Amino acid sequence: MKITYNGGANINIGNILPSDNPLAIKTFTLTGNNTTNIEMGYKISLVVSSDTFSENALKYKLISTNPDNNGKVAPSITEFFFLCAFP
């Protein structure tokens, strides 16, 4: 399984002001080459290493596409608030 990130794997943004428009878009391609009859599963996770915003301030969407119509894709998530818990 191979993951290719457009612009690298991380999203780093500074000096953020409140906005209803996306502040960052991360495009990635997940490619699997399976030569067996066994299903190749995968899990997609968003990891936030630092967050100083108030609760429910960050939102993300996962928009899945399958341009080759090959295999199954992760379901799209259209609206999700990210709840953070840091020690």
- Beta bridge partners, 74, equal none
Q: What is the pLDDT of residues 36-62, one digit of tens each?
A: 888 888 887 777 777 677 777 777 888
CA distances to 16, 27, 47, 54 from 64, in Å: 26, 10, 18, 28
- Per the structure block, which two tokens stand in for 84? 């953070």
Strands (E), 10-49: 28-31
Q: What is the pLDDT of residues 10-31, one digit of tens each?
A: 888 888 787 878 888 888 888 8
